[in-house]
Structure 1
């Protein structure tokens, strides 16, 4: 099976690349070659998907599957439909679980949960991408599959404030500085290791029955935010100094957190993975967060340059704490 990953070396996609190669898939990567990450066994096509003049090599190929890991806008989708219509048997769009109804009317999410999130441009654009692809499937026979990851991690720290592509919150914990947990920390969430996500995702590659369908792929481990931060702090070997602050208040002081909080992580979410388990029976998430986050921290420790401490995030956290304490006093 000949598969193209547009991207393929990121936090989520690297694990899927490695597993695809392990399973004997003839995997190609289209990227600009800027990543430090090298996937052994993947064939490289050098180019920028946004620049047609760099795609002459790409246009020589036909594919069994094309996966775009870095499409975010309807314009990206229009481009891909033009590029790959008649050139691939399956096109997989990486959407986002943040597209699901916000706020939820029912906390258990299935793939039939409505898509509606007007609080975050990122999610709104992903929904528009899905709408365009569904229309292309219905009206033009474009062979789509949609995948909606939730908070998936490998080389990032999956927390709401001072994490993900930053080491900021971890650094604050290690230095004994206060960190913020949104709300009272009791709302429920799921974090998924990229190696577990890959098991479900790679099973969809070339699966004819998956054409026209959407799937989310997450762990079945449900944790409160208090537990997520405690496990992180325990893995760092130190007790965190936690301040609980309502999400509304955080976003009123720093509106830049609206997307990651009010539009995504402020309320309890439980994912029902029945559909992906039905289509890919071998899928089962086996890496608990307490194990996975240690692997992430070890990877970060291997190269201190990976530990990006964002001064802007530190300023925001301190500003929120100062405002909160002044009002509380």
Structure 2
């Protein structure tokens, strides 16, 4: 197939582009050209999707057989894509499990669960998803909605208090790291190469059109264990210091926006529907191997941030330790 990718150099999309090539598809990426190089053999259309005078006619001229939008975030993006890809045979919209919200009516959460988006990002994703669903029902626009949970790889590693690389440096230097509560919240971490199996499997099947799928690792883990695997990879064990999600949010609501309602919660999602419809979606990258590859790449490319003196994490740890001492001393 001739496949158009809006994006293509991001966390998940890099692996998707690679797998599409391996399966013999003709891939074109539509990007601004500022986020990274594309693999040899991938065509590049350089431009801004927000420039509708460029985006819509450029995409229409390509006559793609199928497309995936990795950087559709707002209803305005949806309106443009519905116009630009109006003749496409299959269109996959990248959404997020965060659209479900902070509380679960049942576990594991399935795709028919009510949506209660907790942050503006998720609110916009819900509105965008509904545009595509309405277009499918009203005029047969061939849309599929894919909702990944947390993914990781060479471009992004995750710990319970958020997305950064300083924790790699902290562990290497033997400095403690934070966890929320006792780190017992279960979370789905999916390697980007495994995520690609889901995206490409959905795109290659007409039977998935009109459907919504959670794209998650069927085997969730506790955050304290996830951190433990990272320590094993790095060859050094450090103390995990407990802190409440509310404390972090009050410290910096923007930085820790996702902590109280996502990273601190047991929000377990079902992979059953995707595995039923895309049988080859069987994650094979172990957390140990995935983190080892990501850490090595980040380190060798100078992408692991330094930890400054008086780092925010050191300050929080000092406060937590002082409070614990005071309690124990009575």
Unaligned runs of 5+ in 1: none
| TM-score (normalised: structure 2) | 0.91
Determine the structure 1 residue equivalent to 2:152.
Answer: 153
Determine the C-alpha separation between the residues in 2 that align with 1:141 and 1:316.
51
Q: How does 1:99-118 map to 2 (within 5 A)?
A: 99-118=99-118
The equivalences for 1:50-65 within 5 A come to 50-55=50-55, 56-65=57-66
Write out aligned runs for 1:16-35 (5 A): 16-35=16-35
1:250 corresponds in structure 2 to 248
Q: 1:78 to 1:308 in 2, by over 3 A?
A: farther
1:204 aligned partner: 202
**Cα shift at 1:105:** 2.6
Q: Which residue of 1 aligns with 2:80?
A: 79
Match of 1:131 in 2: 130
Q: Structure 1 length as normaliser, TM-score?
A: 0.91
Q: Structure 1 residue 301: deviation in Å?
A: 2.4
- In structure 1, what is the Cα distance between the partners aligned to 2:11 and 2:306? 18
Checking the alignment, whether the CA contact within 8 Å between 2:90 and 2:142 is kept in structure 1 is yes
Structure 2 gaps of 5+ residues are none
Structure 1 residue matching 2:50: 3-state secondary structure: coil
How far off is 1:220 after superposition? 2.0
Q: 1:259 aligns with which of 257, 260, 267?
A: 257
Q: Which residue in the other structure is 2:8 paired with?
A: 8
Query: By how many angstroms is 1:146 displaced?
Result: 0.3
Q: How well do the aligned residues superpose, as a CA RMSD in angstroms?
A: 2.0
Give 1:180 shift: 0.7
Q: What is the 5 A alignment of 1:191-230?
A: 191-230=189-228
Distance, in Å, in 2 between the alignment partners of 1:310 and 1:115 is 38
Q: Per-residue deviation at 1:322?
A: 4.3
Shift of 1:104: 1.7
Matches within 5 A, 1:308-323: 308-309=305-306, 315-323=311-319
1:300-323 Cα shifts (integer Å, max 9, x gaps): 12211x2234769x7432343344
1:67 equivalent in structure 2: 68
| Alignment partners' CA distance in 1, 2:245 and 2:184 | 13
TM-fit CA distance, 1:327: 4.5
Deviation larger for 134-143 or 227-236: 134-143
State how far apart, in whole Å, the 2-side matches of 1:257 and 1:159 are: 13
Q: What's 1:279 paired with?
A: 277
**Structure 1 residues 121, 326: CA separation in 2 closer, same or farther (over 3 Å shift)?**
farther
